[in-house]
Structure 1
Amino acid sequence: MKDNTELKQLAKNVLGNYDIVPNELNIIQDSGLKTLWKFTYNHQVQCLKRLKHTKDKAMFTVNAQIYIYEQGGKVPKIYLNNTKEPITEYNDQLFVLYEWIDSKDLYFDNSSDLCSALEGLSKFHVTSKGYVPPQEAKISSKLGRWNEQYESMKNRMLKWKNEAQLKPQNKSYASYLKYIDPIIKIADKAINDLDKSAYYSLTNVDQKEAPLCHQDFGTGNVILSGEDVYIIDLDGVTYDLVGRDLRKIIGKRMEKQGKWDRETIKNILKCYEKGNRLTQHEKEILKIDLLFPHWFFAKVKNLFKKNKHVNPGEIAKIAQLEKSKVDILRGLF
């Protein structure tokens, strides 16, 4: 109980910077540095968050949220402190005060919820365009860097191949060696396709012309309040093509289904395009990003980089899933 008492006192001290004396103060999340407190003040429910970012990174994401809110985007409002700042520094820690949105989670396994979430995401992308961060902010941008990322991931997989060849008696390594060559072939095709695509002309723009991607868009970070879909937890936003968010959503759905399915991809895009139409070039680049073996890489990274046991059967399963998508994607769009 001592920890809770200390955390509650910490929140009260921080809220002094807003001239707020909270009622019904509760800790609703406490995971390392990142902490959330919920409380009532003047008949309004609000949420205080302790950030895990450095100040320059927080300046980028917090001001992005303020910008989206001011454009009419559905994100929680951020309250300024007594010195008219959105970020409060206290004991070398950073805090932000948000409005609390009474809501329910949207579950991506439910097709209606997924469609609502995707419509919300498209509107989020549209309202995020035009954001210019403050000068002291550390800018997060992935624009024009996909090729570099693909090459880096491919090279790591080749390095891990060399490591696995030194211990072929390890069953997980043996499974990796069995599948890595066709996976590298898929990676090479994606790299080659990206080089020949409109990717560089689409990303060679002023950052303020590009949308912000959420990067962690899923159940828990998209909520329904009345008729409105709100996007929360913008700690990872970055300038990029909207395909970055869509690729992650589509990939997760395919992994969950255990197979790549063209109709599911088309339905996801149909829902998304209710709020933001994609050009043919944008669809082609999304297809290339779907082709790259991101999911195989994520699975085996645990084995090689994090030294976690990964069952040989899991490696085989994700490799088969990656290989099966090549024909499905070929005729897409």
Structure 2
Amino acid sequence: MEALIRLIEEEYGLGILSYEIMRNSNKSLVIVLRTRKGKFLGKSLFTTEERQNFILDAEEHLRKKGIHIPKLQKTKANQRFIYWNGHPFLIQYWASGPMLALNLPARIRRTGSTLGRIHAASVGFSSAYSHLYNAANTWDEEYRNDFTALQRWNQQYESSKDPKHQIIFLHLPFFLIAGKIALESLEKSSYYQNWRELPTSRHFLCHGDFNNGNLLSEKQKITVIDWEDVRFDFPSKDISRVLSLLMRKNKKWNPKAFRYLLDGYLRENPLSRRQRHLLYIDLAFPHITERFLRQQHYLEMSERDIEKFLKQEIRKTAYMLEEMKALE
């Protein structure tokens, strides 16, 4: 680590007084740097040069549009990053402030509004690497694979005597029906077919890990951090992430909380009727349940908690299906 610190001092001209390793895993290296010029964050995502440049391009575009994102500190040679162990390593200004709590309707709306502003500001973004990170191209395969995975799980554990498997098997028919309905609606959606073919500059950028832990609130300003999963995608992906957090916090499906979130969002990024239809298709499809089974989260849960989780997802999915059908 001392070799990296010396390299940072040499390449950036920063006199480092002290440092603290926040994370050092197989996914990333994150260091807090205290220097004579202030506090900075150094990080490597162990990714490619192309991916790192796309992330920085996206951040720069959004920053110019008024989204608060920590500013990049360039090297003395005006480079965006240096290389450490073969991967890009960059330095950003430190962002302060507590994370935005999701405990009041006004704060949930504010979270939705922040997300809506990001999506609205992202339209028009272009990067030399845009074609590499367009998730619209993967939706067909994702839907088919997820639906097939649910069917396969259902067949594999049909005769299981494990109490946890039996609870899941009892609830799974609902998700199979919901998945089939959502998949058929997706295939019939002319808007979806047109959206897939749009140039990336007309797509939305999604944060990819939009949650209140990545929203730092200071006075009237919200700073959005950790953009390593940014890509072109549809708003439902980021909205679903926040919605899952709300459900975990409330320990139930709360349609009022969802309305607070969506109302705040639509205030900043109004979606057309056809866009809202696609939003509800994606929120109705059992992506969360498929991931729950694939990653075997139920192994660490009690039977009671498994049943509670599945019933919450059923109530949420039923709501989304109703909203989807109302827009057809």
TM-score range, shorter chain: 0.7 to 0.9
Shift of 1:326: 4.8
- Select the residue among 217, 220, 242 that pairs with 2:213: 220
CA–CA distance in 2 between the matches of 1:288 and 1:329?
7
- Select the residue among 97, 102, 114 that pairs with 1:103: 97
User: AA paired with 2:58?
Assistant: A
1:3 — aligned with what? none
- Select the residue among 273, 281, 285 that pairs with 1:292: 285
In 2, are the aligned partners of 1:71 and 1:127 still within 8 Å (CA)? yes
CA–CA distance in 2 between the matches of 1:253 and 1:318?
13
Shift of 1:184: 0.6
TM-score of the superposed pair, with normalisation by structure 1 = 0.87
Partner of 1:94, secondary structure, is: strand
When structure 1 is superposed on structure 2, of 102-111 and 138-147 the one drifting more is 138-147
In 2, are the aligned partners of 1:17 and 1:81 still within 8 Å (CA)? yes
Q: For residues 177-202 of structure 1, give each alpha carbon's deviation from its aligned partner in whole angstroms, at most 9, with x where no partner exists.
A: 22222221110011011122322223
Q: For residues 4-27 of structure 1, give each alpha carbon's deviation from its aligned partner in whole angstroms, at most 9, with x where no partner exists.
A: xxx354233234211222223333
CA–CA distance in 2 between the matches of 1:33 and 1:325?
32
In 1, are the aligned partners of 2:125 and 2:201 still within 8 Å (CA)? yes
**1:321 and 2:327 equivalent?**
no
Alpha carbons of structure 1 residues 138 and 50: separation in structure 2 relative to 1, 3 Å: farther
2:245 — aligned with what? 252
Q: For residues 285-307 of structure 1, give each alpha carbon's deviation from its aligned partner in whole angstroms, at most 9, with x where no partner exists.
A: 1111121112222222233xx89
How does 1:50-129 map onto structure 2 within 5 Å?
Answer: 50-129=44-123
In 2, are the aligned partners of 1:87 and 1:96 still within 8 Å (CA)? yes
How does 1:262-277 map onto structure 2 within 5 Å?
Answer: 262-277=255-270
In 1, are the aligned partners of 2:105 and 2:257 still within 8 Å (CA)? no
- Select the residue among 186, 203, 210 that pairs with 1:194: 186
Q: For residues 27-65 of structure 1, give each alpha carbon's deviation from its aligned partner in whole angstroms, at most 9, with x where no partner exists.
A: 333344522222344443221112232333222212221
CA–CA distance in 2 between the matches of 1:119 and 1:184?
33
Q: For residues 144-193 of structure 1, give each alpha carbon's deviation from its aligned partner in whole angstroms, at most 9, with x where no partner exists.
A: 5333212111111212223213x612222222322222221110011011
1:203 — aligned with what? 196
In structure 2, runs of 5+ residues without a counterpart are none
When structure 1 is superposed on structure 2, of 184-193 and 196-205 the one drifting more is 196-205
The percent of aligned pairs where both chains have the same amino acid is 19
2:142 — aligned with what? 149
CA–CA distance in 2 between the matches of 1:33 and 1:288?
32
Q: For residues 43-101 of structure 1, give each alpha carbon's deviation from its aligned partner in whole angstroms, at most 9, with x where no partner exists.
A: 43221112232333222212221222233321111122233321211232321111112
Shift of 1:324: 2.5
CA–CA distance in 2 between the matches of 1:132 and 1:255?
36
Shift of 1:252: 3.3
Alpha carbons of structure 1 residues 164 and 128: separation in structure 2 relative to 1, 3 Å: same
In structure 1, runs of 5+ residues without a counterpart are 1-6
Partner of 2:213, secondary structure, is: coil
In 2, are the aligned partners of 1:47 and 1:100 still within 8 Å (CA)? yes
| Matched pairs, number | 323
CA–CA distance in 1 between the matches of 2:254 and 2:260?
10
More helix by share: 2
CA–CA distance in 2 between the matches of 1:16 and 1:113?
43
Alpha carbons of structure 1 residues 249 and 54: separation in structure 2 relative to 1, 3 Å: same
CA–CA distance in 1 between the matches of 2:271 and 2:66?
21
TM-score of the superposed pair, with normalisation by structure 2 = 0.88
In 1, are the aligned partners of 2:286 and 2:317 still within 8 Å (CA)? no
In 2, are the aligned partners of 1:211 and 1:240 still within 8 Å (CA)? yes
CA–CA distance in 2 between the matches of 1:247 and 1:281?
18
In 1, are the aligned partners of 2:206 and 2:233 still within 8 Å (CA)? yes
CA–CA distance in 2 between the matches of 1:115 and 1:23?
41
